[in-house]
Amino acid sequence: MPAVTETIDTVAAVTSGTYKYGFETEIEMEFAPKGLNEDIVRFISAKKNEPDWLLAWRLKAFAMWKTMEEPHWPAVSYPQIDYQDAYYYAAPVKKQGPRSLDEVDPELLRTYEKLGIPLKEQAILAGVEGAGESPAEGRMPIAVDAVFDSVSVATSYKERLGKEGIIFCSISEAVQEHPELVRQYLGSVVPQGDNFFAALNSAVFTDGSFVYIPKGVRCPMELSTYFRINAKSTGQFERTLIIADEGATVSYLEGCTAPMRDENQLHAAVVELVALDDASIKYSTVQNWYPGDENGVGGIYNFVTKRGACRGKRSKISWTQVETGSSITWKYPSCILQGDDSVGEFYSVAITNNRQQADTGTKMIHIGRNTRSTIVSKGISAGKGQNTYRGLVKILPKASGARNFTQCDSLLIGDQCGAHTVPYIENRCISAKVEHEATTSRIAEDQLFYCRQRGLSEEDAVGLIVNGFCREVLKELPMEFAVEAQKLLQISLEGSVG
């Protein structure tokens, strides 16, 4: 069983209204001064010993950001964010090369433990020398790259992957070791000035993951990253870049948790995927950031730009997301279907309970011929939650034979929540076919009673029915992740009935 599953097994024990990951780790941290200006951008770049081109790239992004405004079109509302009142760089103080777990900062280990990461992986994550050589017995190897605040603490299984020519490391490391690849692809899918949050991220990103799968290689294991916001008042700006070269295949998992705090924290990540001819990338997210309490105090602002470019012929990018956390989610994992016969998929479950708000969906841009896209979105609203699906299907004139199928289903629990569906369709090609289906339903009283008559508690009954509602999406997740997601769905809805 991989770390993620064990993590969630522990979560299952949680009672209503509590957030399992609401702990804070006290380790020595190094901060840049609060606030954001050109000097901070330079400081970050210098700290990371970056080449000049990257500093220039960041400064350009910063200059663009200064002229931009936060988007106001999403159906979410929140108080003004003070960008000068946050730290943009926080990293655990490095104690070089521990040789065993005893030498690792015990606070750090305790954090991993609370996250449910098994000892073997803990050792790898903490950078214990030699710990990553062989996978722990009896479990499918999963390569984990833990992002602890801004700095990737360690990367596991690197050597094993290295044998296949696969590069899986932190983006900072990639900048040092593979600058040509980073320079070629960074910002090629999400340019610096793409949007307000992407510009901010481009200026100040501190870490994230980098994956390169060489031609014809099928990545032998799931690649996985834990992102974890820990330090107080720290924004997290990871930057992830995944490149699948011709004929390559990779499945990438991203899981998130964050400590519980009364103040809101900003998470503005950028994820870029590039698939060349016949390549396939599957990107799965289970997002469980702290959602705030039942009165809407605290929680993560999850403003994320995720986009994949199907550059090659017959390439495929598939996004699967289960969004249960964050106080506000604003994200639209998208596909640019440029190569002929390329395929884009978006499978999403978004839950909003209490006062959570989610405005999420996707963009499928059909450029190449016979490009196909599938969108399956399941929105669940409970409590006073607001859930908006916002999607764009755009078919350009040359995309003859393009096809899209969109299905948006909303499930309402209680009568104080809301579900909204905003599909935009721009079809500029007569031979293209676009289908859209949408439903809104409630959990029926007879369904609940049927389950309870069989002995299920009301909450278990809701969990079962909701999982059934999401089945089409959950089955897209890698097995181990699916189990986690199912449990999370149920936990997220605790207290929503009765």
Partner 1 sequence: MLKIEGLRAEIEGKEILKGIDLEVPTGEIHAIMGPNGSGKSTLSYVLSGREGYEITGGSATFNGQDLLAMEPEERAATGLFLAFQYPVELPGVGNANFLRTALNAQRRAKGESELDAMQFLKLARERMRALSMPEDMLKRGVNVGFSGGEKKRNEVLQMALLKPSLAILDETDSGLDIDALKIVADGVNAMRGPDFSSLVITHYQRLLDYIVPDRVHVLMQGRIVQSGGPELAKQLEASGYASVEAA
400 forms part of the interface with partner 1 (CB under 8 A): no
Interface with partner 1, residue 262, by CB under 8 A: no
The site string for partner 1 over 308-347 (x = CB under 8 A, - otherwise) reads: ----------------------------------------
Q: Which of 151, 169, 203, 470 binds partner 1 (CB under 8 A)?
A: 470
**Closer by beta carbon to partner 1, 262 or else 445:** 445
Six-digit token string for 489: 């769905």
- Comparison of 97 and 455: residue with beta carbon closer to partner 1: 455
Measured from the CB of residue 376, what is the shortest distance to partner 1 in angstroms? 12
Of residues 294 and 472, the one with the C-beta less far from partner 1: 472
Cβ nearer to partner 1, comparing 10 with 467: 467
Q: Does 178 bind partner 1 (CB under 8 A)?
A: no
Q: Does 24 bind partner 1 (CB under 8 A)?
A: no
Residue 72 binds partner 1, judged by CB under 8 A = no
Using CB under 8 A as the binding rule, whether residue 468 contacts partner 1 is answered as yes
Least distance CB 251 / partner 1 (angstroms) = 24
Q: In the stretch 424-453, what mask flags binding to partner 1 with x, by CB under 8 A? A: --------------------xxxx-xxxxx
At its nearest, how many Å lie between partner 1 and the CB of residue 454?
A: 4
Comparing CB distances to partner 1, the nearer of 191 and 414 is 414
Q: According to CB under 8 A, which one of 21, 62, 148, 469 is a site residue for partner 1? A: 469
Total number of residues binding partner 1 (CB under 8 A)? 23
Side-chain-side CA neighbours of 7 within 13 Å: the count stands at 25
Minimal distance, residue 456 CB to partner 1, in Å: 5
Nearer to partner 1, 303 or 347 (CB): 347
- Please identify which residue in 456, 483, 495, 497 interacts with partner 1, judged by CB under 8 A: 456
Q: How far is the CB of 488 from partner 1 (least distance, A)?
A: 17
> Can you give the three-state secondary structure of the chain, one letter per residue?
CCHHHHHHHHHCCCCCCCCCCCCCCCCCEEECCCCCCHHHHHHHHHHCCCCHHHHHHHHHHHHHHHHCCCCCCCCCCCCCCCCCCCECCEEECCCCCCCCHHHCCHHHHHHHHHCCCCHHHHHHHCCCCCCCCCCCCCCCCEEEEEEECCEEEEECCHHHHHHCCCEEEEHHHHHHHCHHHHHHHCCCCCCCCCCHHHHHHHHHCCECEEEEECCCCECCCEEEEEEECCCCCECECEEEEEEECCCCEEEEEEEEECCCCCCEEEECCEEEEEECCCCEEEEEEEECCCCCCCCCCCEEEEEEEEEEEECCCCCEEEEEEEECCCCEEEECCEEEECCCCCEEEEEEEEEECCCCEEEEEEEEEECCCCCEEEEEEEEEECCCCEEEEEEEEEECCCCCCCEEEEEEEEEECCCCCEEEEEEEEEECCCCCEEEEEEEEEECCHHHHHHHHHCCCCHHHHHHHHHHHHCHHHHCCCCHHHHHHHHHHHHHHCCCCCC
Q: Which of 43, 114, 471, 497 binds partner 1 (CB under 8 A)?
A: 471
User: Judged by CB, which is closer to partner 1: 259, or 463?
Assistant: 463
Query: Of the two residues 323 and 409, which places its CB atom closer to partner 1 in the complex?
Result: 409
In the bound state with partner 1, the residue whose beta carbon lies nearer, of 217 and 451, is 451
CB of 292 to partner 1, least distance (A): 29
The residues binding partner 1 (CB under 8 A) are 444-447, 449-458, 460, 464-465, 467-472
